Amino acid sequence: MHPIPWRAYALLAASTSLVGSYVGLSKLLVAVFPVFLLAGLRFGFAAVLMLPWLKKPADEAPLDGRSRLLLFLESFLGNFLFSICMLFGLRQSSAVVAGVIMAGIPAAVALLSWAVLRERLSGRVLAGIACAVGGIGLVALGKHDGAETTPLGALLLLAAVFCEGCYVVIGKQLTANLTPRRISALINLWGLVLVTPLAVWQGLSFDFGMPRLLDWALLGYYAATASVVTVWLWMAGLRGLPAAKAGVFMVFLPISTALVGLLLGESLSAAQALAYGLALLGVLLATWPAPTTAR
């Protein structure tokens, strides 16, 4: 019997729980900072924190063309587009609704593994995808306690789900050759390059004296968790597990997102509770390890 990789499990659970917490807190930040400026400040703060991580370890091979392309795609899809889609989507939905939609990430990982890695999808995985889509549909089309999720908001959050799915699949390939710290620093640097022109454009007309000290503190937490801590934890955990098994730990993302939303005063309706049940059932069906056949 193979030993259970508890360390990898703990790293992945901690990473996705932190992601869920800052998804919920992002709702507060987008009310103060323009989206592109917020993303630029996040990447900028994180770049300063991770300067020592940019140095290549002595035992690491130089970056080849494939690794450079994967690093760019990891940042473009998993950092830049994910952040933009998520932040704009949150402006047109509640944190609780966003949490339900984010529950579709493991199903997206399964679909992308089939499309990109040519992994075979079992009937259980297909059933899980159907449950996740059903949960998404329940919240994407209605009004809940006065907070309406617009079709555009649901579409943007769904796009963020697939961006995060790409992040998992590409990240698994990167961990074969690069250390988790260097991956984190390099993809954050690409994110800063991509968003800087848009951030400068919005920053020119922004009153930097308007945010309160608490807003800047939340921004610091957002930058440290979103670009530094969660990425390093995820890459370190992903290095020791198959991508499909790691996907099950995305269940902690919607749970922590919803908890933050409830702490911020949002309510959970019966329809949303049913949607959560369907979405989390989809997570388990799509990503729970199949039993091994004894000889």
At 238-250, the pLDDT tens digits run 887 767 667 667 7
CA distance readout (Å), 6 to 76, 179, 235, 241 = 31, 20, 15, 11
CA distance 171 to 73: 10
Top-ranked range on mean pLDDT: pick from 7-11, 176-180, 186-190: 186-190
Q: What is the pLDDT of residue 295?
A: 40
Whether 294 has a pLDDT exceeding 70, the answer reads: no
Global confidence as pTM: 0.76
pLDDT more than 70, % of the chain: 75
For residue 201, tell me if it sits in a domain.
yes
Flag whether 47 is in a domain.
Answer: yes
Using the predicted structure, report yes or no on whether residue 292 has a pLDDT greater than 60. no
119-147 residue pLDDT tens: 676 777 677 777 766 776 666 555 555 45
Is 32 buried (19+), middle (13-18) or exposed (0-12) by CB count in 10 A? middle
**Quick check: is 294 in a domain?**
no
Rounded average pLDDT over 66-88: 88
Residue 74 lies in a domain: yes
Which structural domain range is residue 68 located in? 20-55+64-287
Q: What is the pLDDT of residues 181-214, one digit of tens each?
A: 999 999 999 999 999 999 999 999 999 999 999 9
pLDDT bracket for residue 161 (50, 70, 90): confident
- For the stretch 18-29, pLDDT in tens is 776 776 677 788
Rounded mean pLDDT of 45-53?
93
Phi, psi of 31 (to 5 degrees): -80, -15
Residue 131 located in a structural domain? yes
Whether 271 has a pLDDT exceeding 80, the answer reads no
- What is the structure's pLDDT at 196? 94
Residue 267 included in any domain = yes
Number of domains in the chain: 1
Does residue 265 fall inside a structural domain?
Answer: yes
Q: Does the residue 12 lie in any domain? A: no
What was the pLDDT predicted at 10? 78
Structure tokens at 1: 């019997």
For the segment 46-56, the average pLDDT, to the nearest whole number, is 91
